[in-house]
Homo-oligomer: A and B are copies of this chain.
Amino acid sequence: MQKRSEMTRARILEVATTLFSQQGYEATGVAEICHAAGVSKGAFYHHFSTKQAIFLELLEDWLNRLDIAFEQTRQGTQTVTQSIEIMAGIVGNIYQTADINLSILLEFWTQAQRDPMIWQKAIAPYRRYQTYFSSLLQEGIDEGSLRECNPKLGARIIVSLALGLLMQALFDPGGTDWGRESKESIHLLMDGLVRRHE
């Protein structure tokens, strides 16, 4: 049966995610992963050519899942503001997704600083979001629902908000319900903090 092979592979990936999250990429040894997954080194190197290979696969998995959510949102919506708020919800949900430990993101980014291959993969979606929100805002400005402003700047702010909340969720996981916070933040951003002189 070929299921056996895939199960081993899956278990290794699963364990690696946990260990990389808890201890970091460099601090986690291959032997450690094998022991935790209950397999031998032979099995590990049969499925993955390198320690880095498993890391890349983890990264790709993560990005794929993000893209799926991203694409789903893009389809079903019409209004610009609606789109943005739903995106906020998605980001908000990332915090709660138990199986994806947030801190592995830091690991991805840290490694991306050095390895160009990882950098490319890890940074690409960020650019995609940037351009997506940029055009989304432009659309909003054109249709009159948003104020006239630099759409690129606006996109940058939205992405900043998402990244910043992510970081804070890492620093202080129990601080608030980061999912709710995410939505409310976007609202406040849309309306502005300054009182309007009506």
Q: Is the CB of B123 within 8 A of A113?
A: no
Interface residues on A, range: 35 or more
Chain B residues positioned under 8 Å from A191 (CB to CB): 147, 192, 194
Could you tell me the distance in whole angstroms from the C-beta of A52 to the nearest C-beta in chain B?
13
Q: Is the CB of B159 within 8 A of A194?
A: no
Q: Is the CB of B189 within 8 A of A168?
A: no
* A185 to B193 alpha-carbon distance, docked (Å): 12
6 smallest CB-CB distances across A and B, nearest first, come from A192-B192, A160-B164, A164-B164, A163-B164, A26-B26, A147-B195
A→B interface (CB under 8 Å): 22-24, 26-27, 81, 103, 106-107, 109-110, 112-114, 123, 126-127, 137, 144-150, 153-154, 156-157, 159-165, 167-168, 170-172, 176, 181, 184-185, 188-196, 198
